[in-house]
Every structure is written in C-alpha cells, then in structure tokens.
Amino acid sequence: MSFNLRQSAFTLLGVVILFIAGCQTLNYVDHKRNILWEIVHERCGTPQDKKKDCLVMQPDYIVLRDIHGPVQTLIIPTQRVRGIEDKKLLQMNIPNYFEKAWQHRDILDQQHNQKIDPAYLSFTVNSKFGRTQDQLHIHSSCLRSDVYKTLQQYRSQISDQWQPLPEKILGHRYIAKRISLQQLAAQSPFLTLWQYVQTQQKESMEKYGLGMVSISQGEAILLATQLDLTELNKGSIEEIQDTHCTITHQTF
C-alpha cells in the first residue's frame, strides 16, 4: 500500500471514528436534550412565553415557532414521545402529527409574508442519531430548491410502494413513496414507514429520518433516509429543508 493510500485510509478511518463517537453521545443523558419538553410544559400557556412562541396550543400538541430560521415551526406532542422510534406512534389512538403539521401550514405563509406553494413545503422528523432533542418534533418549512428539482425529475417514477430514489440527495441515499392526502388522513406516515421497516432485515425505526414533502394535486411524497456510516449519514432528514424559503423566489 502506498503512503498516499495509507494516509487516505487513516483519514477516512478517523472521520468514521469521530462520526461514530458523535452518534454514541446520544446514549448519555443530557438535560439540554429535554429543552422542547420543558418549553411545552413549563413555558407554553404561561407568562414565561413572553415572545408568544407557542403559536397553537391544543391538548395533544403544540405548534412552536422555531428560532432556527425565519420560516419554520415545530409540531410537538404534549405527551411524552421520545422520537421516531417511540412505539406510541404506532397506536391507533395517537394523533396523526404529520397531518397536524399539514393542517397548520398557513403559519408558514404568515411567517414568509406570502402564500407558499404546497409543492415547496416539507415536514420532517430526524432519526434518533440525527436529532438533538428527545421529544418528538416535526420540522415544518420549505424544501431546498435543489432537492425540489431532484424530486421533480423523478416524480413520475415514484409509486405507491417504497423504492430507492435513482439519485442521491445531498450525497445520501433516500427511499420514496407517493401517498394521497386521503391516505395521510387515514394512516400516519410513521406507521407507513414502520410497515416497510418490518420487511427489512436487521433494521429499526430509530435509524430512519422521515419526511413528507412537495404536496401537489392532492398527493404528497414520503421520503426516508437512514443512518449509514459509509455516507456519514445520521438520518438527519431536515437537511432537505431551507428555513429561508428561497425556493419561492425561483422559477422552475
């Protein structure tokens, strides 16, 4: 093995070790990972919410203004739901949080001071290894324009069955599935992904990030990506979002 090849191999190994170390830190308890839970139960509906960041307060969920971007909200359950891997999300009596996010899309219009084409919208939940909070939260915002272009290129090929996208998104492999808004109302995307994961050997929900994007003509695209060390992919699917909604100023 040449010196340059050995050097490249050691560099790659070092990057992977650091990546794994970052994932492993999720196993430790960190009070900062409960900030959203504390906001929902200690700030919302009280004088502590001085900036009125709790935009919608329902018994089952809160719509919170996200400070990390001008056009973004978080849908957060009021009951304890750790994340995408939480089995509560498979119960029939739990709210359909993705549908709730879709129903409150008008808040994004208000934040952006203009109507946003639903084809440009995205709603995402990161994997256990790609999130910073241990309370489920759906990021509602716009799609990145380059991601939108990729999806438009293959939209006609996306069927009602999960299948890999022909092209990587931001260097990461994704699977996609088409659903109608009627199907969204009938079944949570969490359950839809779980049914797919059960068909895959040695896979689990905690590895996946899940998104619902680009709603057009009564249909939405479900996207999912998963933890993959070879791609340095933590399953942080919010990578497909642009909280400044620059897509609304472009022509396609």
Write the pLDDT tens digit of every residue in 19-47. Answer: 444 544 444 456 699 999 999 999 999 99
Is residue 11 included in any domain, yes or no? no
At 2, the pLDDT band (50, 70, 90 cuts) reads low
What CATH number is attached to the domain comprising 208? 3.30.428.30
Is residue 14 included in any domain, yes or no? no
The boundaries of the domain holding residue 94 are 28-249
Is residue 16 included in any domain, yes or no? no
Task: Quote the pTM value.
Answer: 0.89
CB 118 within 8 A of CB 216: yes
In the chain, what percentage of residues exceed pLDDT 70? Answer: 88
Burial code (b: 16+ CB inside 10 Å, e: under 16) for 5-39 equals eeeeeeeeeeeeeebeeebeebeeeeeebeebbeb
Is residue 218 included in any domain, yes or no? yes
Is residue 158 included in any domain, yes or no? yes
Give the distance, in angstroms, between the CA of residue 54 and the centroid of all CA atoms in the same chain.
20
174-210: pLDDT as tens digits: 999 999 999 999 999 999 999 999 999 989 999 999 9
User: Looking at per-residue confidence, does 104 or 202 come out higher?
Assistant: 104
Residue 10 has pLDDT above 80, yes or no: no
